[in-house]
Structure 1
């Protein structure tokens, strides 16, 4: 298994994963979102991949805090494929997520 940044070509796989949680997101919507975030330094979508299969996705956004100094990371989506839950896939995503937060000087995560 490996962890990598999502590509536009991953839209269909990500859409199917989100569907496991009941979200009705079309591959086109996911592709549009990935395209909008593609060059953002403060937003990322990371995938866990097993062979050719996408088995996990997490989206992370770094926000500027208004009420105090610093930035905050916010997870807006986290899905692990039904067949791979409980096998540590989510834990595999967190080292890259942590590096992303550190590179954006985020002091916390929600």
Structure 2
């Protein structure tokens, strides 16, 4: 008698406002302060917006990763570029390929929307994230400068 071992099913899909409860723990892992109502409002605003995309990675029906994308183009660009404004895989599932799959789907969305490049910022103390992105072909260039306006 042979026994079957079922592998977990990973699905990458566009998020919806019903994903709030699954995404809240991920946002907290990123140290993004949010509440269920604020996150639901933000996800609702992203629904069918042509310049934004939020993907989730769902493992056996549970949200275990997410990435937020923002497409933009300025007067001096021939093609738009896409900023990854947030990306996280649940701590218990890191190193399993979920982040790589999320980025592949993100690249597909970017190409479908005419984007010529993806970019992001990571904290200077997050070397694991920097290594992850560089392993997937991202190149570290320059410095990010910012100014808080009061």
> TM-score per shorter chain, which class?
over 0.9
Q: Distance between the aligned counterparts of 2:12 and 2:77, measured in 1?
A: 33
Structure with the higher fraction of residues in strand conformation: 1
Alignment of 1:32-71 (within 5 A): 32-71=41-80
Superposed CA RMSD:
1.1
Could you list the per-position Cα deviations for residues 59-100 of structure 1 after superposition, in whole angstroms to 9, with x for gaps in the alignment?
001101232221010000101001001111101112221121
Instruction: For residue 12 of structure 2, give the secondary structure of its aligned residue in structure 1.
Output: strand
Instruction: For residue 117 of structure 2, give the secondary structure of its aligned residue in structure 1.
Output: strand
Q: Distance between the aligned counterparts of 1:76 and 1:105, measured in 2?
A: 18
Match of 1:2 in 2: 11
The runs of 5 or more residues in structure 1 that have no matched partner are none
Q: Distance between the aligned counterparts of 1:47 and 1:81, measured in 2?
A: 11
Output the TM-score relative to the length of structure 2.
0.70
Match of 2:114 in 1: 105
Q: Distance between the aligned counterparts of 2:19 and 2:77, measured in 1?
A: 37
The structure whose RCO (Cα within 8 Å, separation 6+) is larger is 1
Q: Distance between the aligned counterparts of 2:77 and 2:32, measured in 1?
A: 34
Moved segments of 4+, more than 3 Å:
none
- Aligned residue-pair number: 110
Match of 2:38 in 1: 29
Structure with larger Rg: 2
Output the TM-score relative to the length of structure 1.
0.93
Q: Distance between the aligned counterparts of 2:33 and 2:22, measured in 1?
A: 13
The runs of 5 or more residues in structure 2 that have no matched partner are 1-9, 120-150
